[in-house]
Structure 1
Amino acid sequence: MSDAAKPWDAALVRQWLESRFDAAKLDQAAADRRGYDAQDDYDKAAAEEWVCRTLKADLCVNDQAALAARVKQLIAQDEYRMTGIYDDVRFERNVRGTLRKIAKMTKSNSGFDNRLRYQ
């Protein structure tokens, strides 16, 4: 059962990043309306929004190896700047988690076709 490797589809990756960016914005708004109890959810959505905004504006999306290198570089970054979050440590942990998820997806070149709001 040898499956031929799929070619890198930059347009699909951009669509995925855009849909995750939009979903993160909606999740932030929903968490904001729920108030204090949803601060974790807000920070998680803000982290995903930050990652998607950072990557979708970058030209590295055009090449699988370049995207993998950029994600690795972002994971190694010491801190991530964003205003309006509740807990910096939680936000940074969620950013790194989202980046690790994208790194796995990039390495296997799979998962970018799943554009459902809740993943």
Structure 2
Amino acid sequence: MSNATATAWDASRVRLWLESRLSAAKLEQAAADRRGYEAQGDYDKAAAEEWVSRALLATDCTTDQAALAGRVKALLAQDEYRITGIYDDRRFDRGVRAQLRKIAKMTKANEGFANLLRYQD
């Protein structure tokens, strides 16, 4: 019984995690922008993480586990992701899909949302 309580869905923790990833992505974009040409890949990866965080925060899908899983699945089903200011569309699309798959796994297992460190795997 105590194990079920420990793994209960915490919508506020998920929103906080998404907000922290949004902030970290902005910082990563700024750092990559300062490094110049060789950091364009890092910029696109951070832009992808920002896009995913914004897309998930823009809707009220974090209130329950099934809603977030459904929203992630719907975003993964999209053919392409529109954004301006990136360097390589394919690299950005791969980054978005990788980030969405990561969040899908975290949502399914209901773990990892407590990690608010700036640098994550």
Distance 1:3 1:64 in 2: 17
TM-fit CA distance, 1:56 = 1.0
TM-fit CA distance, 1:6 = 1.1
**2:106 alignment partner in structure 1:** 105
Please, which runs of 5 or more residues in structure 1 have no aligned partner?
none
**1:80 alignment partner in structure 2:** 81
Q: Partner of 2:55: helix, strand, or coil?
A: helix
Q: Would you say how many aligned residue pairs link Structure 1 and Structure 2?
A: 118
Q: Are 1:48 and 2:77 an aligned pair?
A: no
CA RMSD in angstroms, aligned pairs only: 1.1
**1:17 alignment partner in structure 2:** 18
TM-fit CA distance, 1:97 = 0.1
Distance 2:58 2:17 in 1: 13
| One-letter amino acid of the structure 1 residue matched with residue 110 of structure 2 | N
* Identity, % of aligned positions: 74
For each residue in 1:65-93, what CA deviation from the matched residue of structure 2 results, as whole angstroms up to 9, or x when unmatched?
A: 01001101101100101110000000000
Q: Partner of 1:17: helix, strand, or coil?
A: helix
What is the TM-score when the length of structure 2 is the normalising length? 0.95
